[in-house]
Amino acid sequence: MSSIRRTTGRGANKLSLLGTTALVAALCVPGAMAQEDTVDEPISTGATAVAEDEEAVLDTIKVQGVRGALQTARNLKRDSDTFVDSISASDVSSLPDLSVAEALSRVPGVVVQRFELGGSDGDFPSPEGSGNIIRGLQYVRSEFNGRDAFSANGGRALEWASIPPELIGGVDVYKNQSADMIEGGISGNVNLRTLEPFDRDGRVAVIVADGTYTDLAEEWSPGFSAILGDRWDTDAGEFGLLGSFSTSELKSAVQGFQYGPLLAATNPDNGSTIALPGGFQARDVEFQRERDSYYLAGQWRSPDGNQELTIKGTRVENSTQSDERTFEFFTDAESWASWEILGVDSIRPFTSDGIPQCNGAGEAANGGIGVCETLIPITGGLFESGVVSNGLRDWLGTNGTLGTPFQSLAVYEQRDSVTQDISANFKWRATDQLFLEFDAHYTEAEATLDRLWAGGNHFADYSFNFSDPENPEIGLFVTPEMELQSWVPRGGTGTAPATSLADPATAFLLYAADQFEDNTGDLLALRADAEYEFDNDGWFDSVKFGARMSEREQQNRSAGLNWGGIAPPWAGGYLPYSNRQDASAFEVFDFGDFQRGGVFQGDTTSVVFPDRAQLQDYDAFVNSLINEPLLNVSTNADGNTQIGDWIPLRQNGVIDYAGRGIDGLVNEKTTNFYGMLNFGNEFDNGQALSGNVGVRYVKTDTTGGGIGGFSEFADLVGTPEEIASNPRTYLPELAAYMDQVDQNITIDNSYEYWLPSLNVKWELNDEMLIRFAASKAITPPNISDLNASRNSRAILGFVTDTNPAPGTQPGVVDIIPDAIRVDGGNPNLKPIEATNIDLSFEYYFGDDGQFSVSLFRKDIDNIIVYGTNNQGSATFDGYNIPIDFGGNVNLNDGSIEGVEVAYQQFYTDLPGLFGNLGVQANFTIISSDTTPLPAFEDADGDGVPDDFLTVYRWSIDELLGLSDLSGNLVGIYQDDQFEARLAYNWRSDYFSSYRDYITGNPIIQEEIGFLDASFKWDITDNVQFRVLGANLLDTKAFASQQIDASGQRFARSSFVNDRRFEVGIKY
């Protein structure tokens, strides 16, 4: 008989009736527990056989801790019937990672996503890993104990960053499909397995207390978790109960410096055309996250071992708050021609056949749509150090000189989410050859967002040194010439020359904005599976078939971002903070230590901002404005309070989502059937061939409804200047269009697919095997993107009189419509489709060594990206303007192919301490190709873009989020008392956006690597001390923008995160 190990992998749920003692190696460290349903020997029945199997497994355990966890993961990979990599609970707790998302980045082919993809979302990074990309694709399906899992943010995936590591029994990453797997993961399936009572013999009790220090925030954050479980043998069978609780906080900070677009300017020294960086931004964000989890699991196993019932309940609560302080000036179509070069220190060699004139924003009132796409050749170099000013608002100055109109923006945001899941699973070996499994689960989730903005104006000029874009230098200064005309400030003071940006007399409140979301969702799923084993020695092992029904309902409510001017200069004048009746409405923030110091040079580093505490209390902020006598406050025709042009979304404690935002319901019913044949045979030469072939049927019906709303203009109320700046004064026909009543929209769509799959494993000998898999897969659109609700708003350009007659007040003299923008969901989205092929060679040696090489290819259709589609045009007030839908659309196709190499080994044959060393290493190489997005939408065929947001520069043919290269290198030391790890994770550059709002250009996140470490000391058999460190190299996340057709790049952003250090005790 061959010594080849014939095992059944993921589909062999029948084997779980024998318990999970094969994983005890991962459980030997207190609190490190895992569950899995594979064993090495053929299945037996009866309590005696079960006991014998458990004893045999326990007798073979020789290792523990991290080495045992890696050995377990290796065996799971080896025995699986498709492509899978795993981590165990010990693995997660051993890594310096605060979430599952960050721990998963150690898996071959998996990278953590710290920046959202598309649009300008890359401007707002997450302080923790926010998601994962597998083999270059973000189409990842998440599972919770093999079941659907999601957060109420409207996506299909659970936010892994919100899951406490303390809940984890193990995590499996499946990179191809088999027919019994739930569809949805083109790039892969990530299954989080929670702890179960039968995972360990006897009683388990673990308490962990720790504290995390973040050096940028300079804060300590506490954490605590407890696990308690036991199991009992009775005449009625074996019972087990396990519960856990965890609570943790994280106080952190992110500081980002961002660059505007490159612009063409004239060198004052020689008249040549040079490239000028068009502004900058400094953003300081403080985060606070609180996370609590509650978990309870109960199990029962019949006396004969043929039946097992598992019931689990989970609740995870997350709350995050962020306070942002941003100081910025970025150029657009209105301001690009207003730059003045005051001094030149350094111009480096640089040429280009043409860079765009501006970013596209504000084109309608400043030359017309498409004017920014004019390409200007650069011959004189890149201006990287000197002194500049932008005179956009110089007309407000007494001497016609005022300085660059910087903005100070304060943002408070709070996000809360709750996810609850309850499940029941029953396994039954009905006969020696028939195994049945029944499963039911119910999930409900809720997620809310409250966001409040307030911004003001300051005037200053600045010196800059961008010779090292990762370490910029800025010098802010004010001069006596920076003096406002007497009519500009409200309240009669504030005209004196500015002496400091920290002076509230020369800092001016300008606008406010708010945004709210309140999303809820629930899911009920029922599943039944049957497997029949053939009683013969032939090729056919078993046949498996099953059915599944699920119904998910998602209610998405959102309103905003709702922006409005409070005190613009053309509508009654600026409001100096010093003239506010509410003296607590502002504070001073110092950027002197920004990005650990050195960015802001000189004495001018402090800036006036709206008060942080007031922004954290929405009602207090609004009431402060309402009670301000220098502001125009009224009640509009809808009965809502209006402050200047800003109409707060929350009126009398109520948010009218249907009337002023989006309120839509999506109901999705999915039916699945599958059939799968497991086959295998052993040959006389010691080799074996096994695998499965099957097909899965999917039918989904989507119904629901929503509201088609319109963002009406503010009422004609206020001072003559405010009425003169109201769009109703210039665009009455467009105003009437936006005043129309809301429209009801319904959804009634369906799709169906047949998804075949084939998995083959050829075991060459005890140590080597070749694996092949091919499958058809789909990833449905995010359920929130199927929402029928939409909101139409007008994009306008304001024309101001910059040269008024003496003694008269400048103001708005015309308003030009740019487009009607329709934002919302797209019920007609199709699932993304893919054909997946994998081939690997795997070599397993020693007790824990492995080496593997995997080749893969995916051909993808119906890729969903955020884009703009023209839906026609209309004429209002003499202007023919486009009507553009902005949202997710099926825009292009693509393919990826690549290779993964993975290696791990402990060098036990080396002498002395060297015998305690081990290493993990993996590397992934990927190439991609995708159909470039259209250069621009042109519905009327006049050769001019319908809207600047429909312009996609430079014909980018790469998928977003895909790094060509990524890898991990982990050094390990473990003896009987100490365990240490040093882990380096790296990925190459990748495109994060096809079009960024600030620059108009594609954005590339440059290559990045993080060094983390952990150390554990088993003080006694029951007490462990541990220290974890993350981001030890203080890595900056640097991004570039592609600035011309040849692919040249210029800096876009540089973000600094905390270094994190966790110290804890486990008992």
State pLDDT tens for residues 590-628: 999 999 999 999 999 999 999 999 999 999 999 999 999
pLDDT at 14 over 80: no
Show Cβ contacts of residue 878 under 8 Å, excluding neighbours closer than 6 positions.
Answer: none
pLDDT at 34 over 60: no
Dist. CA 734–CA 875, nearest whole Å: 9
Q: Hunting for tokens 């954050």 — which residue is that?
A: 221
| Cβ atoms of residues 779 and 836 within 8 Å | no
Q: DSSP letter at 741?
A: P
Q: What is the pLDDT of residue 45?
A: 35
Dist. CA 802–CA 709, nearest whole Å: 36
Largest CA distance in the chain: 104
Average pLDDT, the chain: 85
State pLDDT tens for residues 853-903: 999 999 999 988 777 777 888 899 988 888 888 788 887 888 999 999 999
Q: What is the average pLDDT across 311-320? A: 93
Q: Which of 97, 139, 135 is nearest to 781 (CA)?
A: 139
Higher-confidence position of 673 and 947:
673
Retrieve residue 753's tokens: 């697919």
State pLDDT tens for residues 747-761: 899 999 999 999 999
Higher-confidence position of 977 and 821:
977
Q: What is the pLDDT of residue 777?
A: 95
The CA-to-CA distance between both ends of the chain, in Å, stands at: 47
Q: What is the average pLDDT across 1038-1044? A: 96
pLDDT > 90 in the chain, percent: 54
Helix (H) or strand (E) holding 79: helix 65-79
Q: Which of 725, 848, 874, 721 is nearest to 792 (CA)?
A: 874
Dist. CA 675–CA 529, nearest whole Å: 10
Global pTM reads 0.86
Among positive and negative, which fits the CA dihedral 573, 578, 583, 586? positive
pLDDT at 430 over 70: yes
Retrieve residue 356's tokens: 């765009």
| Cβ atoms of residues 167 and 293 within 8 Å | yes
Retrieve residue 477's tokens: 């200064």
Helix (H) or strand (E) holding 895: strand 879-906
- Bond into 561 cis (ω within 30): yes
Burial grade of 945 (CB within 10 A; 0-12, 13-18, 19 or more)? buried
Higher-confidence position of 42 and 146:
146
Q: What is the pLDDT of residue 92?
A: 46
Retrieve residue 1008's tokens: 């990045």
Q: What is the pLDDT of residue 804?
A: 61
Q: What is the average pLDDT across 544-555? A: 95
- Sequence letter at residue 241: L
With vertex at residue 766, the alpha carbon angle to CA 763 and CA 769, rounded to the nearest 5 degrees, is 30
Q: What is the average pLDDT across 318-336? A: 92
Helix (H), strand (E), coil (C) string for 477-522: ECCCCCCECCCCECCCCCCCCCCCCCCHHHCEEEEEEEEEEEEEEE
| Cβ atoms of residues 83 and 176 within 8 Å | yes
pLDDT at 424 over 60: yes
**956 φ/ψ angles, rounded to the nearest 5 degrees:** -70, 125
State pLDDT tens for residues 58-103: 333 345 677 887 888 888 888 888 888 888 765 444 444 666 777 7
Q: What is the pLDDT of residue 21?
A: 29
Burial grade of 28 (CB within 10 A; 0-12, 13-18, 19 or more)? middle
Q: What is the average pLDDT across 389-396? A: 87
- Bond into 449 cis (ω within 30): no
Retrieve residue 365's tokens: 């009132």
Dist. CA 934–CA 943, nearest whole Å: 13
Show Cβ contacts of residue 652 under 8 Å, excluding neighbours closer than 6 positions.
Answer: none
pLDDT > 70 in the chain, percent: 88
User: How many C-beta atoms surround the C-beta of residue 687 within 10 A?
Assistant: 16
Of the ranges 41-50, 52-61, 471-480, 937-946, the best mean pLDDT one: 471-480
Could you write out the DSSP letters of every residue in 552-607? EEEEEEEEEEEEEESS-TTTT-BEEGGG-S-TTSEEEEE-TTGGGTTSEESS--EE
State pLDDT tens for residues 1021-1030: 889 999 989 8
The SS3 assignment for 10 reads coil
